[in-house]
Amino acid sequence: MEIVKEKMLPFQWDILNDKATVKIESERDDVNIPTEKSHVIANFLIAAGKKEGNHYGWLFQDSDLYKWIEAAANTYRVKPDEHLLTLMETCVELIEEAQDADGYLSTFYQIEKPQLKFRRLMESHELYCAGHLIEAAVAYAEATGDLRLIAVSDRFIACIKKAFGPNEGQINGADGHQEIELALVRLYEFTGNKNYLDLSYYFLNVRGQDPDFYHKQLLENEKNGIHEGHMPHIDLVYLQAHKPVIEQLEPRGHAVRMVYMAQAMAGTAYYLNDSALLNAAKKIWESIVSKRMYITGGIGSTVRGEAFTYDYDLPTDTMYCETCAAIGLLNFTSVLQKSDKNSAYADIMERVLYNSMISGMSLDGEHFFYVNPLEVDPEASLKNPDKSHVKATRPSWFGCACCPPNLARTIPAIQRYIYDESEDKKRIWINQWIDSTGAFENAILQQQHDFRNKKESTFTITNTNDLETEIFIR
């Protein structure tokens, strides 16, 4: 957490502002990957009308800033810091200024293609970015009490609710990259407003109902004279849109998308008491951890589509095992644990935390793995195009920079994974053995471990209210 605060946050802030002098690498040998600069802040400045120029980077570049804010907020919550607060406030004001009057917010489409807003959902990532905005807003509100970013999210959600739905004239489909669904569950947890859960349920439920949805959108654009270039190939399995989510009982397609979707399924089902949806999420989890997960907790066996393949196909030198996929599996698992206090969940979370996730960064906080290899030959990484994604050392930054800020937001939120408490406060679970103090209404728990030398663990439990409380230690 100290490395995140002292190194990663300032380093990533400089990157987002194009002030860091580092080499940005493409995550694999592909000339189409933008690697010149981040340009994230510049994109927002241009969208806000405060700077001239074009959008640069991926369609989802905005999410780098949202993840940075979430990382800063999670850090601030643990240890308040005036400088960090000032930077976060600067970001919030910039986002407020960049947002359109109707609530829409996606700098690429605002700057470059306003006529295509919500019209290329197979790849546009507009709702994916909305999801990261929502997650940042919740973290920022929890840390500071400032609800301005929640208000920005609410304006965007109102715009989305107007555009999407089953009624005539609305778009009846979901974003190609899941994320808004799980973020809406977080917003429900923060506000208690069930409308957010219902919207999450809508996006989960509509996915895969009409496998032609994305193709039809492109055809409609063509009819309206607003199409772009050639008709792209749409891989429905990659997008988990080949059939309804409730029928997708085994993990297929893009690994990050898969676990983000499954996390949303588990969370939405838990709060809506939907046992069919919850069971589908559990089946996906069981299939992942028993047949499609590496010994490190890494997932995604192939670079082609950054995807799952088939049972027990776990090559050690061409795998993907993206850092974001590890974080997604961690979060998916932690949500399942809410509904079922089975230590098997905590076991997998521990495996991911200590292996496939934390391997994504170096101790200097300024170098990161996108792909977390189990085996690497530096010569093969350089000369074999099928292994160009497998780096021998951690680069400073990537053209597609999803992983480094994902780590930065997850590490200072580690307390989420350590303890759990029942709603009636009578039971507390210690799920992870991590040096910490957990302060609950009926008890204060302290745990201290020396695994390396003394091989000793000490748990100190203070019964603050003298009420009977059950403590479960994994």
Active site residue 91: no
CA angle 332, 334, 336 (to 5 degrees): 70
Closest C-alpha among 243, 242, 238, 246 to residue 262: 246
Minimum Å gap between C-beta 295 and Zn ion is: 21
CB 88 within 8 A of CB 140: yes
Q: Which range in 124-132, 275-283, 315-323, 438-446 contacts Zn ion by CB under 5 A? A: 315-323
Q: Which of 199, 324, 335, 428 binds Zn ion (CB under 5 A)?
A: 324
Q: How many helices (H) does the chain have, and how many strands (E)? A: 18, 8
Q: Which is nearer to Zn ion, 258 or 403 (CB)?
A: 403
Query: Which positions from 72 through 101 interact with Zn ion, judged by CB under 5 A?
Result: none
**Amino acid found at 331:** N
CB of 81 to Zn ion, least distance (A): 27
Q: Which amino acid is at 102?
A: D
Q: Which residue number, 402 or 418, has a Cβ lying nearer to Zn ion?
A: 402
Of 60 and 270, which has the nearer Cβ to Zn ion?
60
Rounded distance, CA 357 to CA 349, Å?
10
| Residues 222-281 contacting Zn ion, CB under 5 A | none
Smallest gap from Cβ 290 to Zn ion, in A, equals 24
Selected catalytic residue, list 129, 324, 402, 403? 402
Residue 87 near residue 69 (C-beta atoms within 8 A): no
Q: Which span sits near Zn ion by CB under 5 A: 91-99, 166-174, 211-219, 397-405?
A: 397-405
Q: Which of 388, 396, 261, 410 is nearest to 323 (CA)?
A: 410
Selected binder of Zn ion within 138, 149, 402, 411 (CB under 5 A): 402
Shortest Å, Cβ 293 to Zn ion: 17
Residue nearest to Zn ion (CB): 324
Sign of the torsion formed by the C-alpha atoms of 55, 61, 66 and 70: negative
Residue placing its CB nearer to Zn ion in the complex, 58 or 354: 58
The least distance separating Zn ion from the CB of residue 360, rounded to whole angstroms, comes to 8
352/428 with CB nearer Zn ion: 352
Binding of residue 361 to Zn ion (CB under 5 A)? no
The 10 Å Cβ neighbour count of residue 430 is: 20
Catalytic residue among 27, 135, 179, 306: 306
In b/e form, how buried is each residue of 139-158, taking b as 16+ CB within 10 angstroms? bbbebbebebbbebbbbbbe
Helices 40-47 and 62-78, interaxial angle, to 10°? 110
Binding-residue total with Zn ion (CB under 5 A): 4
Of residues 196 and 332, the one with the C-beta less far from Zn ion? 332
Q: Are 327 and 376 in contact (CB under 8 A)?
A: no
Which among 189-197, 355-363, 383-391, 399-407 is the span making contact with Zn ion, rule CB under 5 A? 399-407
Residue 436 CA to residue 447 CA, distance in Å, equals 6
Binding range to Zn ion, per CB under 5 A, among 323-331, 337-345, 354-362, 452-460: 323-331
CB of 245 to Zn ion, least distance (A): 22
Q: What is the DSSP letter of 125?
A: -
Instruction: State which residue, 153 or 406, has the beta carbon closest to Zn ion.
Output: 406
Tell the smallest beta-carbon distance from residue 409 to Zn ion (Å).
12
- What's at 70, amino acid-wise? E
Give the shortest CB-76-to-Zn ion separation in angstroms.
24
Binding to Zn ion by CB under 5 A, coded x per residue (else -) over 45-64, reads: --------------------
Query: Would you call 2 a catalytic residue per the annotation?
Result: no
SS3 content of the chain, % helix, strand, coil (to 5): 50, 10, 40
Which 403-432 positions form the footprint of Zn ion (CB under 5 A)? 403
CB atoms inside a 10 Å sphere around CB 116: 16
56 SS3 class: coil
Burial of 317 (0-12, 13-18, 19+ CB in 10 A): middle
Nearest 5°: CA angle at 396, between 394 and 401? Answer: 100
Q: Which residues make beta-bridge pairs with 299?
A: 293
Least distance in angstroms from the C-beta of 256 to Zn ion: 6
374 exposure class (CB count in 10 Å sphere: 0-12, 13-18, 19+): middle
Token pair listed for 208: 């895969």
Nearer to Zn ion, 217 or 410 (CB): 410
Binding segment (CB under 5 A) for Zn ion, from list 34-42, 118-126, 157-165, 320-328: 320-328
Stretch that binds Zn ion, among 70-78, 385-393, 395-403, 429-437 (CB under 5 A): 395-403
Instruction: State which residue, 94 or 374, has the beta carbon closest to Zn ion.
Output: 374
Which residues are designated catalytic? 306, 402
Residues that bind Zn ion (CB under 5 A): 322, 324, 402-403
